[in-house]
């Protein structure tokens, strides 16, 4: 059939379009290559294993880089999702093995790192060590296929040498009654071996030893010139912040050195213990707290100073409860604590003294028979507990307290506890009279004291002081019982100004010198109270941060009164 010109035109267009359509179909068949691998790293144990990963691609792919110990199957494939198996044999060498697999798909590539742990060897010569209570050294030999790391559990264990096959370790003296456990762990790669360390505690009692504790109470008291209190520091209960909880910094050797340089040769350490109990069944005291108390004691003891260590207020568990209903419970704890304290410090010579309690009282009124009997039972429990530990404690000089450490109550009611040795007990009293000059902070306080001053209390002046301390001498010192004036002092009223401040400072110094002097004249050993606060209404004499004397006039007055 003959085509018309119109038909020929459309046919030509159609042919041309068909060519165009065919060209488009060919381009669509050419795809962009894709390559996805489900992992990029494998960590294999020394025993070896098989792992499978998924390789996804829309083009042909291949894998290169397998090693004799690390094989891959399959090593090539076409488009789709393909499971690929990696087989890793056991590693019998002591080196880590690493292989890298390179996966290619068209112009794309991915890497997989295969890391196999070394076949480490680690053998210890021992896994358990039992030690006595003394400081000592020991070694732990081991065989290892590489460098080991050492981890120590127990702050009383330290590594002395770093020998490659037998390191030496040091053990501190266990001063406590209780055994303690620690460990040393050796680690090499994925291997670890542990040595369990057990160190026994001190014996509860040992034979008596007079070495270094030859002085009886009177002789020892005569060697103490003037004493100073580390107040508001070691006696702060743990739950009130511990040593720094009442605003003072930690006690440093610098402070104790400064106190000695000022003329004091004795330090009283009021101390908390109950709040540092870690086991209420055994009343075990924290090893960490014992270590810290020892550190402070040693600042003084190693400085050739006398040291009094006591059980202080500590929340009032003992101090506020001289009653029959509490007596048995408190004496049980009193015995347990003093047994531990005494054993811990048993090797110290006579420069260390123990004081059983502090200001035990029910209230500030005249004590009842019940109050007196219970309070004095605390003293007896203390003496018995310390003596039973033996060693130097069998003859150590001990300090017991009057009811509320009050002089009048001591003169009127106090009975000394029984002791298995003669002339090894001292008595403690405190003195803050008159209170409106010494400690009162609200309105009505008196800024001056003594003859020649005007803003003074109506009582508690020189005649009262002489009567009080004279009665101590008559009733105790003259009977061979030295007396520790464990606390005394007067607030510094630095908020005063002008002439009032001048008179206060002069009167304050006069008071301190007079009390110290009269105490010494009556056979008492004075320990000034210092609470660390040197501002207005503070008892502080030294800057606790650097040891410098803040109130030099007061310090000079005390030392002058002690040596005149």
- Catalytic site positions: 359, 487
Give the sign of the dihedral formed by CA 395, CA 401, CA 402, CA 406. Answer: positive
Helices (H), 224-283: 253-261
Record the tokens describing residue 260, joined without a space: 């000695």
**Do 373 and 326 touch, CB atoms closer than 8 A?**
no
Record the tokens describing residue 240, joined without a space: 């009130």
Report phi then psi at 455, rounded to 5.
-85, 70
10, exposed or middle or buried, with CB in 10 Å at 0-12, 13-18, 19+? exposed
| Cβ within 8 Å of residue 68, ≥6 positions away | none
For 2-31, the three-class secondary structure string (H helix, E strand, C coil) is CCCHHHHHHHHHHHHHHHHHHHHHHHHCCC
Q: What gap in Å lies between CA 225 and CA 260, rounded to an integer?
A: 11
**Do 502 and 545 touch, CB atoms closer than 8 A?**
no
Record the tokens describing residue 527, joined without a space: 């320990």
Q: What gap in Å lies between CA 102 and CA 421, rounded to an integer?
A: 89
Rg (CA), the chain: 41
- Local structure of 523: helix, strand or coil: coil
Whole-angstrom CA distances from 157 to 154, 167, 229, 286 are 6, 13, 34, 17
Q: What gap in Å lies between CA 427 and CA 405, rounded to an integer?
A: 9
């Amino acid at each position: 059939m003959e085509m018309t010109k119109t038909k020929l035109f459309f046919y030509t267009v159609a042919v041309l379009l068909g060519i165009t359509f065919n060209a488009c179909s060919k381009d669509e068949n050419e795809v962009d290559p894709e390559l996805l691998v489900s992992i990029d790293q494998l960590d294999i144990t020394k025993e070896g294993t098989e792992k499978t990963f998924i390789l996804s691609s829309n083009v042909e792919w291949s894998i290169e880089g397998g090693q004799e110990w690390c094989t891959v199957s399959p090593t090539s494939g076409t488009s789709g999702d393909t499971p690929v198996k990696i087989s890793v044999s056991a590693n019998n060498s002591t080196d880590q093995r690493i292989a890298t697999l390179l996966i290619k798909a068209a112009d794309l590539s991915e890497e997989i790192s295969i890391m196999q742990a070394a076949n480490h060897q680690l053998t210890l010569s021992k896994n358990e060590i039992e030690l006595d209570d003394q400081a000592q050294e020991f070694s732990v030999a081991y065989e290892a296929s590489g460098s080991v790391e050492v981890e120590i559990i127990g702050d009383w264990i330290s590594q002395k040498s770093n020998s490659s096959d037998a390191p030496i370790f040091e053990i501190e003296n266990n001063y406590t009654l209780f055994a303690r456990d620690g460990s040393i762990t050796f680690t090499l790669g994925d291997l670890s071996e542990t040595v369990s360390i057990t160190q026994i505690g001190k014996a509860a009692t040992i034979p008596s030893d007079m070495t270094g504790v030859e002085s009886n109470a009177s002789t020892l008291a005569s060697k103490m010139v003037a004493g100073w209190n580390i107040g508001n520091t070691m006696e702060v209960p743990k739950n009130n912040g511990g040593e720094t909880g009442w605003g003072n910094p930690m006690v440093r050797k610098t402070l104790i050195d400064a106190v000695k340089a000022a003329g004091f040769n004795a330090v009283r350490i009021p101390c908390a213990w109950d709040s540092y109990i870690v086991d209420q069944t055994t009343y075990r005291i924290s090893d960490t707290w014992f270590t810290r108390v020892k550190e402070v004691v040693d600042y003084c003891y190693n400085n050739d100073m006398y040291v009094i260590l006591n059980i202080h207020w500590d929340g009032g568990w003992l101090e506020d409860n001289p009653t029959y209903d509490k007596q048995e419970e408190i004496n049980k704890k009193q015995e347990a604590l003093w047994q531990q304290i005494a054993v811990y410090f048993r090797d110290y010579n006579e420069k260390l003294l123990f004081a059983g309690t502090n200001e035990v009282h029910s209230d500030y009124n005249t004590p009842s028979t019940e109050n007196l009997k219970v309070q004095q039972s605390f003293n007896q429990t203390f003496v018995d507990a310390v003596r039973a530990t033996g060693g130097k404690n069998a003859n150590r000089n001990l300090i017991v307290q009057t009811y509320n450490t009050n002089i009048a109550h001591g003169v009127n009611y106090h009975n000394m506890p029984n002791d298995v040795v003669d002339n090894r007990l001292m008595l403690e009293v405190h003195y803050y009279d008159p209170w409106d000059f010494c400690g009162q902070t609200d309105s009505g306080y008196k800024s001056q004291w003594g003859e020649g001053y005007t803003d003074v209390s109506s009582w508690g002046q020189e005649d009262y002081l002489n009567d009080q301390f004279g009665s101590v001498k008559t009733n105790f010192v003259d009977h061979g019982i030295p007396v520790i004036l464990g606390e005394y002092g007067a607030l510094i009223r630095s908020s005063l100004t002008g002439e009032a401040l001048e008179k206060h400072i002069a009167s304050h110094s006069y008071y301190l010198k007079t009390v110290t002097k009269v105490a010494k004249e009556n056979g008492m050993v004075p320990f000034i109270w210092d609470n660390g606060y040197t501002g207005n209404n503070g008892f502080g004499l030294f800057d606790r941060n650097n040891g410098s004397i803040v109130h030099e006039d007061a310090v000079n007055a005390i030392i002058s009164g002690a040596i005149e």
